[in-house]
Amino acid sequence: MRILIVGNGGREHALLWKLRADAPDASFYATRPNGGMQPAVTPVDLSPEDVGGLAAWASTEDIDLTIVGPEAPLASGIADVFAARGLRIFGPTRTAARIEASKAYAKQLMGRAGVPTARFATFTSFAAAKRHIHDVGAPLVVKASGLAAGKGAIVCPTEDEAITAAEDMLVRAGFGEAGREVVIEEFMSGEELSVLALVDGESALPLLPSQDHKRLDEGDTGPNTGGMGAYAPVSIATEDLLERVRRSILEPTLAALKEDGAEFRGLLYAGLMMQDGLPRVVEFNCRFGDPETQAIIPLLSSSLLEPVAEIAAGGSTAGIRMRWRRESAVTTVLASHGYPGSYAKGVPIVIPEDVATRHDVHVFHAGTRLEKGGLVTSGGRVLAVTGTASSLAEAAAVSRTAANAITFEGKTYRKDIGWRELARQTRTAAKRRSAKGRG
């Protein structure tokens, strides 16, 4: 089997790692692979966004299956172009990918489908946006409607901050084309939950729920990023909750997309906010999450390739069951100094041998490249260090220990990934001790 992976970040490295385990005899190709992927693939010197070039190359090379990691090629219609050539590809069409490519469209779709989400309004005029901000008051979230690499949502505690954010997008073009239209929505407080599901057009097969940490600094403070870490599983994601998510969020969304002539086949990511025990949608993505994938995939004991290939072939996920290890995983992202702003590249990285060979540690590369002198940084998020163990506390310790041992100048990372779950477990243990003492 010949498999092409489009993309070269931490998510794609995690997918490659799992797919190689599922199909050890397959041949793997990847677009401009990072330093961790490169030894395991045949490099394809084409940009992930060169949709036409990739389709022509895949036809010539008789690629059996293509898996798309990033959102930009999907928004550009890579699935449509591949399908027109008779090539099997895992990922939604351009029209279906609008659920991520246009936050305005996604919010309107949710409104029609009755999917619970924050109250919102969309604007292309700064004057109208400013009036709306004054009318509804703060706190608010101002979002660039288009693709902004996970950094297009600005939480604004005050009206002045919301006005500044809207002006930056609509007047100063701080987010380029992505910010030509903005979504202004109520601020939702609570606990976030990421539910990723494999979708065959009509039904959704949820993966293990996880929780992302989007803020740069500990305690979930500082600016939004593409994600500074994640963990799985999450105790608040009970079977009853997941059934509610399936019935009230995933299925209505898929039905609404189909009504729009945009049947969704691929990976649908629902970013949720838990409020009073009920889920509301923060955002939808049309692809695997990053860094959630790096936390989820090491816990998957059954095949990922089987359902992915079935969906890409136009089949159904009916009868497929995902099996998960009874363990926990914590992913700590190592970032370059200055991220999510400007940062240096070409900084040497040292990954100690005892970290690279540990069975309970997976170092997934993101912003790295191999040079003659060795491994160097090439992006803002450099590495995703996943630790696995029988408990979340142990997995967190494994991840932090490995993260600390890896070195490069300017390395920055959070040491509190999974803090909400750990605090919840501590409270639960204390209640049990108290009840036992009373007994």
| 264 is a domain residue | yes
Please report, for the domain that includes residue 154, its CATH number: 3.30.1490.20
Residues 250 and 308 in one domain: yes
Q: Render pLDDT for 151-183 as a digit per residue (tens, 0 to 9).
A: 788 999 999 999 999 999 999 999 999 999 999
| 380 is a domain residue | yes
Q: Render pLDDT for 308-355 as a digit per residue (tens, 0 to 9).
A: 999 999 999 998 999 999 999 999 999 999 999 999 999 999 999 999
Residues 344 and 416 in one domain: yes
Helix (H, G, I), strand (E, B) or coil at 364: strand
Residues 6+ apart with CB under 8 A from 353: none
Please report, for the domain that includes residue 44, its CATH number: 3.40.50.20
Q: What is the mean pLDDT of residues 240-254?
A: 96
Question: Domain boundary residue among 91, 114, 142?
Answer: 91
Residues 432 and 331 in one domain: yes
Q: Residues 196, 202, 208, CA angle at the centre, nearest 5°? A: 20
Q: What is the mean pLDDT of residues 414-439?
A: 85
pLDDT of 143 > 80? The answer is: yes
Look at the block and give the residue holding tokens 């065959």.
200
pLDDT of 439 > 70? The answer is: no
Q: Are the beta carbons of 19 and 1 closer than 8 angstroms? A: no
Q: Render pLDDT for 289-304 as a digit per residue (tens, 0 to 9).
A: 999 999 999 999 999 9
Write down the pTM of the prediction. Answer: 0.94
Question: Domain boundary residue among 325, 342, 361?
Answer: 325
Q: Render pLDDT for 4-19 as a digit per residue (tens, 0 to 9).
A: 999 999 999 999 999 9
| 22 is a domain residue | yes
Residues 253 and 272 in one domain: yes
Tokens representing residue 365 in the block: 């590369």
Residues 28 and 78 in one domain: yes
Residues 71 and 160 in one domain: no
Residues 6+ apart with CB under 8 A from 358: 398, 402
Residues 14 and 87 in one domain: yes
Question: Domain boundary residue among 91, 116, 145?
Answer: 91
- Residues shown for the chain: 439
In angstroms, the CA 353 to CA 426 distance is 34
Please report, for the domain that includes residue 424, its CATH number: 3.90.600.10
Strand partners, 203: none
Q: Render pLDDT for 267-283 as a digit per residue (tens, 0 to 9).
A: 999 999 998 889 999 99
Residues 23 and 75 in one domain: yes
Residue range of the domain that includes 58: 2-91
The domain total for the chain is 4
Tokens representing residue 328 in the block: 């926990």
Residues 6+ apart with CB under 8 A from 89: 65, 66, 67, 68, 78, 79, 82, 83, 312
Residues 318 and 333 in one domain: no
Residues 6+ apart with CB under 8 A from 435: none
Residues 332 and 317 in one domain: no
Residues 174 and 207 in one domain: no
Residues 335 and 313 in one domain: no
Please report, for the domain that includes residue 278, its CATH number: 3.30.470.20
Residues 6+ apart with CB under 8 A from 437: none
Residue 8, Cα to own-chain centre: how many angstroms?
14
